[in-house]
Structure 1
Amino acid sequence: MFMSQDGLCSIGELAERAGLTVKTVRFYSDRGLLPEAARSAGGHRRYGPEALGRLRLLRSLRALGLPVREVHRVLDEEDAGERVLEDAVAGQLSELGSQLTALRWREAGLRLVLECPPGERADRLRLIGAVASPPSTAALARFWRGWLPARMPAAATAAFLDAAVPAPPDDPAPSQVLAFARLYALVTRPCTGGEVCQPQAHTAAGPRGPAVLYAGLAQAYELAGGPLRRGAAPYAGEELDCFVDAYASAYGGRDTPDFRRVLLSQLAGDPRIDRYWELVTEVISPPDGPREPTPGSAHDWLFAALGAQTAATG
């Protein structure tokens, strides 16, 4: 309780009780966060007893890192309950998480440059300097949109991108930063010379073919993930049957030994992007942990299984 006759206090007294500077209290007042109760005959600000509690709440909210606009919203809508405060704190936590992720990527990038041989530093700097911290995957998505058939439905494209575009780790090792930078460099260079940028599998199917093909391939790749994680050699089984059926369904054909031989020949002639999948594996797998399967490694395993079966059956 203030001891003045009118129960009010000056800005200096309020600042002293709150443990803040007069400049800070004036800042909050000027922005409408701390209403004054009256003005003295000399024009000086006077504050009521409730100002001290409001000022302490202000200080707490600012200590949590909430920007002034969010503090204003919390105080203005105080009667709406705890929801406004929860939303503001949740938003600040999300923003802080993004900042921490960016710092971890910068730290790993700095370690990458520091720990590499001097002769490689210029190349490393060029690579990581082209990538934001934390990195965006937009360039990878654009790469795949150019690779996928033009007739692919939006839902099928989105499902494929979810599997093909790796989520950058929140706390990367230097090797993962390097792998992502190399991946970015790979997908941003144009097809040149005699490179074939579209596989024949995309043009052989009819209007509905692309969606049918990639839905089936997604199922086959998921099935192949099991033997890949176990380190099993390619074999003819449910995984391969699902893989072949994806192409047969897309082409309106039947899964026969002749179809499998033709498919093997066609897939062998398609352009390959093995380097993309090698780098994806490095991005998503812990440096000292097991290698995580990717659609690319699953495709290679299934292609090898098809080749082994075709060779065995003549």
Structure 2
Amino acid sequence: MPTPHDGLCTIGELAEQAGVTVKTVRFYSDRGLLPEASRSAGGHRRYGPDALGRLRLIRSLRTLGLPLPEVRRILDEEDEAGSALEDAVAGQLRGLGSQLRALRWREAALRLVQECPPGERAGRLRLIGAVPAPPSTAPLARFWRGWLPSRMPTRSTAAFLEVAVPQPPEDPAPAQVLAFARLNAFVCRPCTGAERPQPRAHAIAGAGGSAVLYAGLAEAYELAGTQLRGDREPRPGEALDSFVAAYVSAYGTRDTPDFRRMLAGQLAADPRIDRYWEWVAEVITPRGGPTEPTPGSAHDWLRAALEAQTAAATA
């Protein structure tokens, strides 16, 4: 590439060898990414033997979408396989992943609007328009943090949020977009404390007891989920015993027929958010697959099993 007389080349020669315009070479030079070796007597830029390789590297990095500050950090490292390059590529991959998720979400949202009856389009547009793409689960997490007992241990709260807050699918169907948008609207609607009363179990167990309660309920819900996947009717058994044991441990009492009757009555009077769990099931159930159990559906199955058992004992 360099001319024989001094080993240097002009800006035009460098641009020709790299297959770019003179304007491109000047742009990178002016930003300090492509240093000049010297200037001619007439003030023209001259470049050394390593300029072509450096220019090609710059162009490759820019083609991958790396911004100029990232390109500069990579060029400052002598080893092209250094951490700056690895970090930049990883960052680009994360960004592209987020963009792809957003595009898939928007495509499903557009199909949702396209396929719905004309009379429903305005309402659906308002629903999905309130959800960013890709969607955020932060409003759902805030809803549950306000509902859970205050001063509940952080680890217990995180464990509950993991199962109560559904993650949006990577490649959603239109129905899943609609269900998630309804969840978002549900948790973001204005409401008073009277509209979102907490179960009596919170007041009885207290913050520490609630941590014990939710840990036990998680095990019971998992057992009940197996029953739900098998399409089994609510009935006594290991799942129900685990469910009752969670309340027994939290309340510091004993498992007796009287306690089970009291618990059944208390649970029947507790506030319900069935629609929330129905929408959660729609969000987490794979396309064409059987409905996935949720903490809500598991709780209902266990409560029905408890009511049936106490009713039979009374009879």
TM-score where L is the length of structure 2: 0.96
Q: CA deviation digits over 1:65-106, x for unaligned, max 9?
A: 111111111111133843322221111001100011111111
1:156 aligns with 2:129: no
For the residue of structure 2 that corresponds to 1:180, the secondary structure is: helix
Q: Are residues 168 and 270 of structure 1, via their aligned partners in 2, closer, same or farther at CA, if it must alter by over 3 Å?
A: same
Contact kept in structure 1, 2:149 and 2:206, CA below 8 Å = no
Q: 1:203-222 maps to which residues of 2 (within 5 A)?
A: 203-222=203-222
- The one-letter code matched in structure 2 to 1:96 is L
Q: Is the CA contact 2:228–2:298 (under 8 Å) kept in the aligned structure 1?
A: yes
- The equivalent residue for 1:105 is 105
How far did 1:190 drift? 2.8
Q: Contact conserved, 2:150 with 2:207, CA < 8 A, in 1? A: no
CA distance in 2, matches of 1:299, 1:197: 17
- CA shift, 1:7, in A, is 1.0
The worse-fitting range, judged by mean Cα deviation, of 253-262 and 282-291 is 282-291
- Secondary structure in 2 matching 1:78: coil
Q: Does 1:134 align with 2:149?
A: no
Deviations 1:135-188 (A, max 9, x none): 111110111011111131111111111110011111111111111111111111
Unpaired runs of 5+ in structure 2? Answer: none
Q: CA RMSD in A?
A: 1.5
Q: Deviations over 1:236-285 (max 9, x none)?
A: 11111111011111111111111111000000000001110000111111
For 1:184-263, list aligned pairs within 5 A.
Answer: 184-192=184-192, 195-263=195-263
* Aligned residue identity for 1:112: L
Which stretch of structure 1 is more off in the superposition, 221-230 or 135-144?
221-230
Tell me by how many angstroms 1:287 deviates: 3.3
User: Residues 11 and 267 of structure 1: is their aligned pair in 2 closer, same or farther, counting only changes over 3 Å?
Assistant: same
Whether the aligned pair in 2 keeps the contact of 1:196 and 1:271 (CA below 8 Å) is yes
Measured in 2, the distance between the counterparts of 1:243 and 1:37 equals 77
Report the AA paired with residue 128 of structure 1. Answer: I
Identity of aligned residues (%): 75
Secondary structure in 1 matching 2:46: strand
Residue by residue over 1:205-262, the C-alpha shift from the partner in whole angstroms, topping out at 9 and shown as x without a partner, is: 1442111111111111122221111212222111111110111111111111111110
Q: May I ask how many residue pairs the two structures share in their alignment? A: 314
Q: Structure 1 stretches of 5 or more lacking a match?
A: none
TM-score, scaled relative to structure 1: 0.96
Q: Which moved more, 1:269-278 or 1:31-40?
A: 31-40
Distance 2:171 2:22 in 1: 42
- Structure-1 residue corresponding to 2:296: 296
Distance 1:32 1:159 in 2: 50
Q: Does the C-alpha gap of structure 1 residues 90 and 281 become closer, same or farther in structure 2, counting only changes over 3 Å? A: same
What amino acid is the match of 1:94? R
Determine the C-alpha separation between the residues in 1 that align with 2:282 and 2:44.
65
Tell me the SS of whatever aligns to 1:133.
coil
